[in-house]
Structure formats: structure tokens, C-alpha cells
Amino acid sequence: MNNRFVFKIAAAFAYTVFFISALASQVNEPELKSVSDTVEFINYVGPHARIDSLSAIKELGSSSGRIIARSRSSYMSAGDSGKYYVIHAVDPKEKGKLDADILFIGRNATVDHIVNLRRIISAYLSAAYNYSERDADTLAVFITVYNAVYRSNIDYFKSRYKNIVTKNLTEKNCGLSVRYDEWPGRSQIVIPLADVNGGLSTVDTSAISDKRVVESMKEDNDRNIDSRKQMVDIKEREADKASEQAQSAQKRATEEQKKLDEEKKKNEAAQREAEAAREKAEQNPNDKKAQSEAEKKEQAADEQQKKTDEQAERTKQAKDEASEAQARADKKETEAQQERKEIAKDQQEIIERDAANARAGAVYGMQLTDEKELLSGLVKVNSQTGEVIHASPVTFIRDRTYYPAGSGFIAIAGKNAGNGTVKLVILDSVNMEIIKESDETVSESSVLARDGKDYYCIIRDGNDWVLGKYDETLKLLLKSKVPLMQSSPVSVSDTAIVVTGTSGRIKLLAKNDLSELPPPQKK
């Protein structure tokens, strides 16, 4: 549901622990770039029933990428339609619009965090088009942003993409929802293709990093400095490559121009000879030899004119290539320089902001993230202004309760949906991320009670719910033999613990071993 450890739509492609079982021809970056409003991705961040390895997650994308790489110029598909699959929608006959890869998230997919979805897309780009992992990671961030911005905007896609692309899209599902629980069966992630040959300039970086995209990225707490720096690095390398291509094309253009000059000289000579032969033939209409010679010279002149025209076209193409390559180089270099200035400005503002927060001091608290299910997330707040300095990615804390413990915090967190589960967790005090989980499953409706350094909650024991007692390291010390209601209150006194049994009657448990105490004697 509402995981408010939200990732700004252009959030940096973070490196974290991935708790999911989670796919993505060249990307036209200029297209990827048109965004307007800040968008927040709502992810599931909490305990999972199963944790997939990073390599397993990336294989979901790379397996399809390897298939597409075999025939990049042909329309084809790859992957599992029930989970993750790609349609490589290319049509060389239609001009003026974009080809695209479309990544579908099937109904049986379990990806529930934007970070893992981006890893799938990144792995796909690397396998399909030979992008480095670093560059693919950066592109994946912008691709998800782009698709969230244009979610359900079928008119937009029809105006920019070839028919072979849009015939695979629906108005309801095109693009990417910001909610993880709306991804399975309802996602058509469009990756615009500028050049299906693979390599650095497959993606048009100018499109995916326009002003509106960058402004969206700036809404994140760290201004997405790292991702933006990586994009600048890509653009600078693109500029270098385009400059090399321009120089090479200019060299070819010079050589072609020399050839054209020679052909023009030959053409002028051929035309003069043909004209002289025509005049002689006209002066001697009965001279068959003169007539024949005129025809030969005319034919030779026509052939030479054709050669000259063909050489002129080759020369023009070479000059156009040089001009276009140089224009690309100049554009990328200009954009890179401008963005570097913006990054430097943002870095200075971050330094000043952090210094102000440090002077003011901070307090920890909880922020309601889902009023219906009463879910919360930890936040670190400026004690003078109330501004949130940092929000925990874990926004599925239950019972609106947490306790400081050691160098972190203990809470019940999670959700019983998809691959999620509920457990007792420890969050660190810096990033407020989960660093440890209980081995046992906790009731979704359990309270968390503390008695000194002991912590109590309702846990699963076979088919029953019982009371569990933990220390500050989440080591299970004791569990009751008495089955309880999974929503049982837990009241700890000096002498006993009061809970509710499955019959709805009060049960007293001994604090030393959680055994059931006899009911008090009636006086």
C-alpha cells in the first residue's frame, strides 16, 4: 500500500538490499526527458518472505536483452509474458517517429521497489546494447521517470512513436504508475530508440535530462547529485565521440570534394566535346560519321553528368554527417557545462542546509504514511523549524510504535502482501534502514510492548499465535505455550503479563517463562 519512503521520480539509482523477485534498442534520451511535475514513487520497504539475490534480479532483464541483441534491426519479443517481457518494436520503413522497446510487467511479477525495477531495466540495456553498468544504471533512472510522467498519456506516445510501437500500448497502462502495487499487469514501460546499433549514443541524453526532469530530481533530499554527475559524464563522452565522428566525416567530406572537383572538370570537358560534336553534326547532316560521333559524345556527356551528380550527393552526405556530428558535440558539451554549474550550486546549498540543521539539532519521530492501515515511518526532524531532515525508507512500521534500542530503533514492520511479511526489525539511527529482522513472523495487528530491555509481541508458532519475548538484538528469549488472539493487547506489570486468549478471555503469563498463571483466587 502507501509506502511513503518515496523515491522522487528522478531519484538516484540507489544501491540497497533488494527484497523482491522481480525486465527492459537504444534509448532516445531526448524523448525521455520531457517531464513537468515532481513525482514520488511509492515502494514497499519492509521484511520479505523471500529475498532474491542481486544476480537473480538482474537476470530478469539481461536474459531478454541477450535475445534482442541477436537481431536489433528486427521486430521481436523476449521474456516471460506472465512476469517480465520486452517487445522490440522497430520499423525502418516508417520515418519521422521513434522506434521503442516496451517492457511489460506481467501479472505474476513481484517487483515492489523502484530500485529493483531500475536494476532490471539497467541489466536489459547492458545486455541488449552493450552499455556499461554505470551508464545503464543512470539511463534506467530517467526511463522510469519518463514513463511515470507520461503514464496513461496515449496521445503523447502516438504523437512521437511509430505505429509499430503504439499498437502495443493501451491508454490505461502505457507508461509506469508511481505505485508499486499497480505495476503487475498494468505497466508498459516505453524505452525510445534512436539507434538500434548499440553503444554510448544509443540513448539521447538531451531528451531525458531536460530542465523539467532535473528540477524533479532536485526535489530529492540529496538533489540527486550523483546521478546528475553521471549524466554529465555520459554527455561529455558523447561530445568527445561526436567530435571524433565530425573530424572523421570532415576528412571524408574533403576527400569527396576533391573527387567532385575532378568529376566536374571531366563533366565540363565532356559537355564541351558533346557540344562541339553536335555543332559539327548539324553543319554536316549527311555525314554519318559526324552524326555517330555526336551521339557517342552525347552519351559520354550524359554518363559523366550522372557520375558528377552521384559524386555531388556523396559529397553532400559527408558534409551533412560532419555538420550533424559537430552540432551534436557542441550541444552535449554545452549541456554538460551548464549542468556542472547547476550541480555546483546545488552542492553549496546542501552544505549550507546541512550546517543549519546541525546547528539547530534534531529529534526523531514518526510520520503517518497510511491512515487507513495506521502505518508510519521514522523521520529525523529539525528541532527548530520542524523540517524533515531525513525520512526512513521503511514506511510500513505498524502500531505507530518504536523504541530506541542500542544505537538504533526497534519496531514491528512489514505487510502481508505479495512477497512481503511482518517481522520485528532493528533500524539504524543514521539512515533509519532495516539492519536486522526477527526470524519469526509477527502478527500484522500485534502491539509492541517494552519492559526494560525486553520486548514483547505476538508471533506465529505453527498454526497458533503466541507471545514472544525478545532482547535488544532480536534474539527470541521465550515464547508462550498458550495460544492467543493475534490482536491481543500486551500489558506488562511488575508481576505478570496480561494478554487475551483465543477464547477472548484474559490470560496471565509469568514474566520469567511466559507460562500461564492460575487465575486469582476469589475472596
Look at residues 386, 404, 437 and tell me which one is the last residue of a structural domain: 437
Looking at the structure, do residues 402 and 429 belong to the same domain, yes or no? yes
| 229 located within any domain | no
Q: Which residue would you say has higher pLDDT here, 53 or 276?
A: 53
| 228 located within any domain | no
Look at residues 382, 416, 437 and tell me which one is the last residue of a structural domain: 437
| 457 located within any domain | yes
Summarize the confidence of residues 65-76 as an average pLDDT. Answer: 94
**φ, ψ (nearest 5 deg) of residue 337:** -65, -40
What pLDDT is recorded for position 60?
96
Summarize the confidence of residues 323-352 as an average pLDDT. Answer: 91
Looking at the structure, do residues 161 and 44 belong to the same domain, yes or no? yes
What pLDDT is recorded for position 308?
85
Q: How confident is the model at residue 477 (pLDDT cuts 50, 70, 90)?
A: very high
Summarize the confidence of residues 413-441 as an average pLDDT. Answer: 92
Q: Which residue would you say has higher pLDDT here, 23 or 450?
A: 450
| Residue written as grid cell 575532378 | 262
What pLDDT is recorded for position 521?
56
Least-confidence region, from 286-295, 359-368, 432-441: 286-295
Summarize the confidence of residues 122-144 as an average pLDDT. Answer: 94
Q: How confident is the model at residue 201 (pLDDT cuts 50, 70, 90)?
A: confident
Task: With a cut of 90, say whether residue 390 has pLDDT above it.
Answer: no
Summarize the confidence of residues 194-221 as an average pLDDT. Answer: 78
One-character DSSP codes across 217-281? HHTSTTTTHHHHHHHHHHHHHHHHHHHHHHHHHHHHHHHHHHHHHHHHHHHHHHHHHHHHHHHHH
Each residue of 394-415: pLDDT tens digit?
A: 999 999 999 999 889 999 999 9
Summarize the confidence of residues 80-100 as an average pLDDT. Answer: 93
What pLDDT is recorded for position 522?
55
Which DSSP symbol is given to 380? E
Q: Are 232 and 343 in contact (CB under 8 A)?
A: yes
Q: Are 433 and 392 in contact (CB under 8 A)?
A: yes
What pLDDT is recorded for position 519?
56
Q: Are 419 and 110 in contact (CB under 8 A)?
A: yes
| 406 located within any domain | yes
Q: What 3-state class would DSSP assign to 480? A: coil
Q: Are 211 and 203 in contact (CB under 8 A)?
A: no
Task: With a cut of 70, say whether residue 29 has pLDDT above it.
Answer: no
Look at residues 192, 220, 248 and tell me which one is the last residue of a structural domain: 220
Q: Are 483 and 496 in contact (CB under 8 A)?
A: no
One-character DSSP codes across 79-122? E-TTSEEEEEE--TTS-SSBEEEEEEE-TT-----HHHHHHHHH
Q: How confident is the model at residue 158 (pLDDT cuts 50, 70, 90)?
A: very high
| 2 located within any domain | no
Give me the numbers of helices (H) and strands (E) for the chain, helices first please. 10, 20
Length of the chain: 523
Instruction: Return the C-alpha cell found at 476.
Output: 527470541
Summarize the confidence of residues 12-29 as an average pLDDT. Answer: 39
What pLDDT is recorded for position 14?
37
Looking at the structure, do residues 370 and 351 belong to the same domain, yes or no? no
Residue type, 25: S
Looking at the structure, do residues 43 and 84 belong to the same domain, yes or no? yes
Task: With a cut of 60, say whether residue 25 has pLDDT above it.
Answer: no
Q: How confident is the model at residue 272 (pLDDT cuts 50, 70, 90)?
A: confident
Task: With a cut of 90, say whether residue 296 has pLDDT above it.
Answer: no
What pLDDT is recorded for position 104?
98
Percent of residues, the chain, with pLDDT higher than 70? 92
Each residue of 35-65: pLDDT tens digit?
A: 445 667 888 888 888 878 999 999 999 999 9
Indicate which CATH number applies to the domain containing 502: 2.40.10
| 445 located within any domain | no
Q: How confident is the model at residue 12 (pLDDT cuts 50, 70, 90)?
A: very low
What pLDDT is recorded for position 139?
92
Q: Which residue would you say has higher pLDDT here, 332 or 173?
A: 173
Summarize the confidence of residues 484-492 as an average pLDDT. Answer: 96
Task: With a cut of 60, say whether residue 258 has pLDDT above it.
Answer: yes
Count of domains in the chain? 4
Looking at the structure, do residues 306 and 267 belong to the same domain, yes or no? yes
Looking at the structure, do residues 370 and 339 belong to the same domain, yes or no? no
Characterize the bridge pairing of strands 491-492 and 397-405: unpaired
Summarize the confidence of residues 104-125 as an average pLDDT. Answer: 95
Looking at the structure, do residues 154 and 195 belong to the same domain, yes or no? yes
Entry pTM: 0.74
| 195 located within any domain | yes
| 72 located within any domain | yes
Looking at the structure, do residues 253 and 325 belong to the same domain, yes or no? yes
Q: How confident is the model at residue 504 (pLDDT cuts 50, 70, 90)?
A: very high
Beta bridge pairs of residue 179: 42
- H or E segment and range at residue 477: strand 476-479
What pLDDT is recorded for position 13?
36
Looking at the structure, do residues 424 and 457 belong to the same domain, yes or no? no
Looking at the structure, do residues 406 and 471 belong to the same domain, yes or no? no
Looking at the structure, do residues 83 and 163 belong to the same domain, yes or no? yes
- What average pLDDT does the chain have? 86
Looking at the structure, do residues 131 and 211 belong to the same domain, yes or no? yes
Q: Which domain holds residue 467?
A: 450-523
Q: Are 329 and 243 in contact (CB under 8 A)?
A: yes
Task: With a cut of 50, say whether residue 332 has pLDDT above it.
Answer: yes
Task: With a cut of 50, say whether residue 5 has pLDDT above it.
Answer: no
Task: With a cut of 60, say whether residue 204 has pLDDT above it.
Answer: yes
